[in-house]
Amino acid sequence: MDVLTTDRLIIGKLIQRIRDEYEEMPGLDLSLEQAARLWALDLETCQHVLARLHDLKFLVRTADGRYRRPSAL
């Protein structure tokens, strides 16, 4: 397996893990920094995963930059 494939698998697993956490805790509302600490990720990786979940319309980003489920607004 090449590095690109491995990276995609890791990002896919992170996306699913974070998605699961947001589903388990419907009121979860995190800044990028809080999310990175919670999931022990570097800021760049965390931003990438949260942006992907935002692109998928699973998360929304508030005016102050926090990430939450659309139903939590």
- CA nearest to 51, candidates 37, 35, 71, 73: 35
For 8-54, give the DSSP string.
HHHHHHHHHHHHHHHHHSTT-EE-HHHHHHHTT--HHHHHHHHHHHH
- CA nearest to 69, candidates 16, 21, 14, 26: 26
Kindly report the pTM of this predicted structure.
0.88
Walk along the chain (73 residues) and give the pLDDT tens digit of each residue. 676 787 889 999 999 999 999 999 989 999 999 999 999 999 999 999 999 999 999 999 999 999 999 986 5
State the DSSP code for 56: T
What class has domain 3-72?
A: mainly alpha
Task: Write the single-letter amino acid at 67.
Answer: Y
